[in-house]
């Protein structure tokens, strides 16, 4: 992302624990303007309200857009360079923090953003439910989570289908990826990244005090869920 910010050509390489390696020019997407966003992202932004927590903010494109709309946004990312880029691009409140570190110390929020497939940062069913409980505590009574993910079953790629079966055989969710991100000589630690179908997403929410109010589908397997707080908890 830093290389892309500096105007250099950059590839993002994803390595999965079964040996599969893929790459994308995603760094360019991190800097895209609102007018270039896909329609499901634009529609989701209409459901943002109040004070916002942008989890996994990357280069800050959502935070910057919402700031321009006079929202008070707290942007967090585990990458110090991502936060540096956010600040250089004009994000007012940006701090280095992981999703696991989210607490009331960051503030009290009306909207939690998990865009860019950042529902995946929940990692697993158990971790998702634990974090959803925490989100419940640090949000207002009519708060919402706007989360993007990808339906792992919307594929015919044998590499992905075999990996889903491998996951099920080892007691994991089909779309529970174990990956690390690489760039040149750098790599992140291995981490779990969760892809979920709509049925699986709704199952994760059971008993957490959150429920899906509507979905926005994209032209591929990605979709956004508008998740609102319930008063039955």
Q: Does 15 map to a domain?
A: no
Domain range for residue 57? 48-176+194-229
Q: Does 186 map to a domain?
A: no
Strands 94-96 and 109-114: unpaired
Per the CB < 8 A criterion, the answer to whether 102 and 132 are in contact is no
Q: Does 124 map to a domain?
A: yes
Q: Does 39 map to a domain?
A: no
Q: Does 40 map to a domain?
A: no
Q: What is the pLDDT along the chain (233 residues), one digit of tens a residue?
A: 999 999 988 888 999 999 999 998 766 789 999 999 999 999 999 999 999 999 999 999 999 999 999 999 999 999 999 999 999 999 999 999 999 999 999 999 999 999 999 999 999 999 999 999 999 999 999 999 999 999 999 999 999 999 999 999 999 999 999 999 999 999 999 999 999 999 999 999 999 999 999 999 999 999 999 999 997 66
Q: Does 136 map to a domain?
A: yes
Residue 100 has φ and ψ, to the nearest 5°, of -70, -25
CA-CA distance, 179 to 177, in Å (whole number)? 6
CATH of the domain at 126: 3.40.50.150
Contact residues for 229 (Cβ-Cβ < 8 A; gap 6+): 136, 139, 140, 141, 142, 143, 144, 209, 210
Number of separate domains in the chain: 1
Q: Does 87 map to a domain?
A: yes
pTM to 2 decimals?
Answer: 0.95
Q: Does 133 map to a domain?
A: yes
Predicted pLDDT of residue 24 = 82
């Amino acid at each position: 992302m830093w290389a892309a910010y500096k105007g250099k050509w950059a590839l993002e390489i994803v390595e999965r624990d079964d040996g599969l390696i893929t790459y994308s020019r995603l760094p360019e997407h991190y800097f895209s303007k609102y007018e270039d966003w896909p329609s499901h992202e634009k529609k989701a932004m209409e459901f943002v309200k109040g004070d916002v927590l942008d989890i996994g903010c990357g280069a800050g494109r959502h935070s910057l857009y919402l700031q321009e709309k006079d929202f008070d946004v707290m942007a967090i990312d585990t990458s110090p360079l991502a936060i540096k880029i956010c600040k250089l691009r004009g994000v007012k409140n940006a701090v280095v923090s992981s999703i696991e570190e989210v607490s009331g110390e960051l503030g009290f929020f009306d909207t939690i953003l998990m865009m860019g497939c950042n529902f995946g940062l929940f990692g697993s069913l158990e971790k998702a439910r634990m974090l959803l409980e925490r989100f419940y505590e640090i949000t207002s009574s009519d708060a919402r989570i706007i989360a993007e993910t990808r339906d792992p079953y919307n594929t015919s790629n044998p590499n992905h289908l075999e990996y889903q079966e491998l996951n099920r055989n080892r007691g994991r969710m089909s779309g529970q990826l174990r990956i690390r991100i690489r760039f040149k000589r750098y790599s992140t630690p291995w981490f779990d990244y969760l892809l979920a179908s709509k049925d699986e997403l709704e199952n994760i929410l059971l008993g957490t005090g959150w429920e899906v109010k509507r979905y926005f589908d994209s032209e591929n397997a990605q979709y956004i869920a508008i998740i609102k707080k319930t008063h039955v908890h």
